[in-house]
Amino acid sequence: MLPRHTLPPPRLPQQQARRLVVGGVRSVATGGGSSKLAPLGQGVKGLGRPVEAVKSAAVRYREAVGLQVEAFWRRNYMLLVGAGAVVVCIALWRVMFGIASTFVGLSEGMAKYGFLALATAIVAFAGMYTRARFTINPDKVYRIAMTKLNTSAAILEVMGAPLTGTDVRAYVMSGGGPKLKDFKFRLGGKRCFLIFPIKGSERKGLVSVEVKKKKGQYDMKLLAVDIPMASGPDQRLFLVGDEQEYKVGGGLISELRDPIVKAMAAEREFDYLDEREDAEDERREREEAEQRQLEEEAEALRREEERLREEYEERKRREAENLEKTT
């Protein structure tokens, strides 16, 4: 007797179709599990280019809007800062007035105007503090540089003590101020390039300074002295920084150096011109004094002549009267 083999039950067409569909989905899912998902529109023919075009257009429009906003900020940032200060002042005034009215009974007029003045003073003080923190004072930079130079043994040994400055100075400010870029607000660092001549007991020199305002403090990047020598090229001594810092900004220090050097070279010419002008002024004053003296002498002589003429006429009149009386 032949053994029976258990045959599987016949499958319906709908079940086979469902099995095929489920298996197809499973095979797709398991096949893509080890790879990343495809970008949007990559699998669809003709859809990738429009998506990329939309993305690039959005990026371009964002850059254009950012540039327009940045340009508007640069043109009107003072007006915007002033408007912001007014808004802060009003908000601070209302807050202080509300708090004071809650705990203390004050007259309405005194409370309003008093707290308005207080809020204005607070905002003004905050503005002055912010300005002093992020701006550079060239006079203070000059004093800091002179202090460092007068306490440097190397400089004093070469130039001789004490070191004194002059009123001839040149400086350039760069950077700083509030900036708005890529929709991000930040405060830029401000730099000051200063150059001025100094004089020691033995030699003269030209000082180059670069300072950056960093977190409210003066950060000196460069402090160098160019000393002309009797023989050979000029000697450059670096107290702070090096030759690389001297070339920052495309040689901006060198550009500032030329007019100062010309002014120092023309100092003798200026002295000669001043002496000649003083001599001309003295000669002109002397001539004017002589002219005034001559005019005074002429006026005195004219008055004397008039007096003598009047005396002569008076004498003649008296003689005529006496003659009439005798006749």
pTM: 0.51
Average pLDDT of the segment spanning 34-42: 47
Residues 154 and 111 in one domain: no
Domain boundary among 253, 269, 285: 269
Residues 161 and 175 in one domain: yes
pLDDT band at 23 (very low <50, low <70, confident <90, very high): very low
Contact 189/207 with Cβ under 8 angstroms?
A: no
Residues 97 and 146 in one domain: no
Residues 256 and 147 in one domain: yes
Residues 244 and 150 in one domain: yes
Residues 243 and 189 in one domain: yes
Residues 108 and 190 in one domain: no
Look up residue 199 and give its amino acid: K
Cα 58 to Cα 220: distance, rounded to the nearest angstrom: 44
Structural domain contains residue 211: yes
Residues 203 and 146 in one domain: yes
Q: Is 37 a residue whose pLDDT tops 70?
A: no
Total domain count, the chain = 2
Contact 191/212 with Cβ under 8 angstroms?
A: yes
Q: For the stretch 157-172, what's the b/e string if a residue is b when 16 or more beta carbons lie within 10 angstroms of its beta carbon?
A: ebbeeebebeeebbbe
Structural domain contains residue 238: yes
* Share in percent of the chain as helix, strand, coil (round to 5): 60, 20, 20
Q: What distance, in Å, lies between the first and last C-alpha atoms of the chain?
A: 213
Identify each DSSP E strand in 109-228 by its residue range. Answer: 164-165, 170-181, 184-199, 204-214, 217-227
Residues 217 and 265 in one domain: yes
Residues 120 and 182 in one domain: no
Structural domain contains residue 250: yes
**209-238 confidence digits (pLDDT tens):** 988 887 778 888 889 888 877 677 778 888
Domain boundary among 99, 134, 169: 134
Tell me which of 235 and 268 has the higher pLDDT.
235
pLDDT band at 291 (very low <50, low <70, confident <90, very high): very high
**pLDDT given for residue 185 in this prediction:** 63
Structural domain contains residue 151: yes
- Residue 173: φ, ψ to 5°: -100, 140
Structural domain contains residue 46: no
Structural domain contains residue 297: no
**156-212 confidence digits (pLDDT tens):** 888 888 888 888 888 888 766 666 666 666 666 678 888 888 988 888 888 989 888
CATH number for the domain including 157? 3.10.450
Q: Is 17 a residue whose pLDDT tops 60?
A: no
**82-105 confidence digits (pLDDT tens):** 788 888 888 887 777 777 666 666
Q: Is 29 a residue whose pLDDT tops 60?
A: no
Residues 260 and 159 in one domain: yes
Domain boundary among 72, 106, 134: 134
Question: Rounded to 10 degrees, what is the CA torsion of 208, 214, 216, 222?
Answer: -10
Cα 111 to Cα 42: distance, rounded to the nearest angstrom: 68
**pLDDT given for residue 249 in this prediction:** 64
Question: What average pLDDT does the structure give for the chain?
Answer: 75
Structural domain contains residue 95: yes
DSSP of 204-270: EEEEEEEEEEETTEEEEEEEEEEE--SSSSPEEEEEES-HHHHTHHHHHHHHHHHHHHHHHHTHHHH
Residues 68 and 158 in one domain: no
- The residue range of the domain holding 116 is 52-134
Q: Is 326 a residue whose pLDDT tops 50?
A: yes
**pLDDT given for residue 36 in this prediction:** 46
Q: Is 9 a residue whose pLDDT tops 70?
A: no
Structural domain contains residue 105: yes
Q: Is 33 a residue whose pLDDT tops 50?
A: no
Q: Per mean pLDDT, which range of 3-12, 139-148, 171-180, 281-290 is the poorest? A: 3-12
Q: Is 8 a residue whose pLDDT tops 60?
A: no
